[in-house]
Amino acid sequence: MSLHELAAVDAARAIRETVLSPVDLVAALLERIEAVDGRVQAWALVDRDGARAAARRAGDEAARGMFRGPLHGVPFGAKDIFYSAGLRTEAGSKVMAGFVPSYDATAVARLKAAGAILLGKLHTTEFATYDPAPTRNPWNLACTPGGSSSGSAAAVAARMVPLALGSQTIGSNVRPASYCGLVGLKPTFGRISTRGVMALSYTQDHVGLMARSVEDVGLLLSTTAGHDPEDPSSSRAPVPDYLAALTRRRSPRVGLLRDFFERATPEVASVTAQAVNRLARAGATVEEAKLPPTFRAVYAAAYLITRSDTASIHAERFAQKADLYRPAIRSAIEMGMLIPGDLYVRALRIRRQFRRELSPLLDRFDVLLTPTTPAPAPEGMATGDPQFQVPWSLSGLPSITVPCGFTTSGLPLGIQLVSGAFTEAPLLAAAAWCEDVLGQAAAPTL
């Protein structure tokens, strides 16, 4: 196996056993970037010198038996809305051209503290909204990798980096992960600090995680989760041992949300149904589940909240630099400025009621299951349909996508699993069990 194909857990283990040098691993990934990123265009900035220097330090420390944490010497990439000290952070926008933050986002800082090496910044749609990045899907370069975490998904899928940070406000982490054949986790709102992440909606922004296996995502979550006193939305809920939870896999009780199958294309519904049948034959208990009445208002509430928050966040900058904003985000900001306060408050009440009404369903099942996306990655620059992520982004509940098969044209598809607030440990265990049954997606041919 080539070094660029190593999973994060395997690379971390080999470095700890001193049979792999971080210098060699970084060199292999930089070589891979040189070979394929001209076509994929995942990277907004590759910090070659910084990554090599960090790899040399990590190698020297490993040789002396010093290991900073569980990801010592393992590279990662960060979506270009995450602050990274000394590196340009431009959010895919001319508005932020040349901006260099003086500190790392908390998620970036925690990964570095665990020994991980920041390889560079990954393309995003403008300010993580709708105007697309240049990134292409490694499975078919004519197709989108999804958005807004476009570069994060494409870089991990194309074996340019084993781990990546993304974000999700509507559907921006789980959807591109699925389009690119990855495991993508959106944790509970507040589970990972958003300090130092350029905001889109203070009430719905989540840090997202991408890797090629559930175990790698569990390792990533274990290093980034936890309270941050600098982030008012950060939760004080205890952080479980996520990797230990993966050893306690058992066949889950699955609530099948049929409404989502009916909204999917026939091919997506068929591939997902076949995956569900495989899970049932392997021992999963699968029953139909029905969403509460407030589900009908979820989409309107989510978009109303997001647009209003976005308008508020960008108000001062937009007043000064409106001409530098691209059309989709400009339209979203202008629409958000027109939303009256009473409608915003109603939307917040719908969110609270929806989450409350979901409780009995989440108590009854270990996970709720849907197709991850209504269709495979579309051709062209449109970043795809996020509707299957909206309820879980609005409610702040954790969701994860696991590869489940392919379309006849060879594009990957996933199943999406959802569970209760701060139940990432059993959610990861259920996802790992499903991964054992369904298998991991192979690498795309580039």
Domains and CATH numbers, the chain: 3-238 (3.90.1300.10)
Nearest to 204 by CA among 179, 164, 167: 167
62 alpha carbon, distance to own chain's centre: 30
CA distances from 194 to 58, 109, 149, 170, 275 (A): 27, 12, 15, 15, 34
- Mapped onto helix, strand or coil, the DSSP state of residue 350 is helix
Q: Which residue has the tokens 């000064």?
A: 320
Cβ-count burial 363-376 (b if 16+ within 10 Å, e if not):
eebbbbbbbbbbbb
Torsion, Cα 16 20 24 29, to 10 degrees, reads -80
Is the CB of residue 431 less than 8 Å from the CB of residue 400? Answer: yes
Two tokens, residue 21: 């040098």
DSSP state of 192: B
Q: Distance of CA 389 to CAs 125, 254, 371, 428, Å?
A: 17, 18, 10, 17
- Those residues whose C-beta lies under 8 Å from the C-beta of residue 445, and which sit 6 or more positions away, are none
> What pLDDT does 442 receive?
87
| Of residues 113, 149, 151, the one with CA closest to residue 129 | 149
Distances (CA, A) of 44 to 68, 151, 201, 203: 28, 8, 23, 27
- The whole-model pTM stands at 0.98
Q: Do residues 139 and 59 make contact, with C-beta atoms less than 8 angstroms apart?
A: no
Who's near 160: CB < 8 A, 6+ residues apart? Answer: 4, 29, 32, 33, 36, 37, 40, 42, 43, 77
Cα–Cα distance measured from residue 181 to residue 443, given in angstroms and rounded to the nearest whole number = 8
Catalytic residues: 79, 148, 172
C-alpha span between 87 and 100 (Å, rounded): 6
The per-residue pLDDT for 91 is 98
| Residue 12 contacts residue 219 (beta carbons within 8 Å) | yes
- What DSSP state is assigned to residue 195? T
Name the stretches of the chain with pLDDT < 50.
Answer: none
Instruction: State yes or no: cis peptide before 167, omega within 30 of 0.
Output: no
Cβ count within 10 A of residue 67: 17
Task: Determine whether 24 is exposed, middle or buried from the number of CB atoms within 10 Å of its CB (0-12, 13-18, 19+).
Answer: middle
